[in-house]
Amino acid sequence: MKEHGWDIKVGMRTEKPARPLGEERYMNYWILQANPDKFRIVDGLKAYGKPNQIDCWHISQLKEEVKPRDTVFIWKAKGSSGVSGIYAKAVVVLPQKSPLSDIEENYFIDKAERKRLEKLWEITIKYCASYTDRPLLLDTIREIPELKIMSIIRNPRRGIQRVKPEQGRIIESMLH
């Protein structure tokens, strides 16, 4: 069954994707969520979310667990549009504490949110792919039994959420 260009059956695969030599360590998967009512995430991804571009995200939780080479999926919250899902994929380059960049300043809608984020831990990511023209939407994700139980669906308020390895692999297979 295909919906929004995604083959639902592909999401049912459970085998591990092949990894290049030297990347055998256990990898974590994360969802980094952006609220489009506070930050123009889709515009930001179109401008700066191209493969190999570097970006910074601010997190308040799980900062000790996020490691270089972990995979992150960029999730756009529903906001006032009512549409949510995965709009990009990236890898963590470096977790660190640093200020907001000048580039980020241009995309904030909510200036109070900008001030709040200035105090948080930052992770540097490198984008692998952007799906702004064809995101993996929540309605499609909910059709996959292993994915409909993800924490982002049950508790969509946190900015960073852990994704179980088997769920991360299914999402990766759906994004290819």
Ordered per-residue pLDDT tens for the chain, 176 residues:
433 333 333 333 333 444 444 444 568 999 999 999 989 999 999 998 999 999 988 888 887 889 999 999 999 999 998 999 999 999 999 766 555 566 666 777 777 877 777 777 788 999 999 999 999 999 999 999 999 999 999 888 788 999 999 999 999 999 97
pLDDT at 25: 53
Residue 18: the pLDDT is 42
The answer for residues whose C-beta is within 8 angstroms of residue 83's C-beta and 6 or more apart is 76, 137, 138
Residue 26: predicted pLDDT:
66
pLDDT score at 63: 77
C-beta atoms surrounding 59 within 10 Å = 18
**Helix, coil or strand: residue 128:** strand
Write down the pLDDT at residue 142: 95
Where would I find the H helices in the chain?
41-48, 102-105, 111-117, 138-141, 151-154, 165-175
Say which residues have a Cβ less than 8 Å from residue 150's Cβ, sequence separation at least 6.
31, 141, 161, 163, 164, 167
Q: What is the pLDDT at residue 58? A: 83
The pLDDT assigned to 98 comes to: 55
Read off the tokens for 116.
Answer: 């709040």
Domains and CATH numbers, the chain: 27-175 (3.10.590.10)
Q: What is the pLDDT of residue 61?
A: 85
pLDDT (0 to 100) of residue 100: 56
pTM for the structure as a whole: 0.75
Q: What is the pLDDT of residue 7?
A: 39
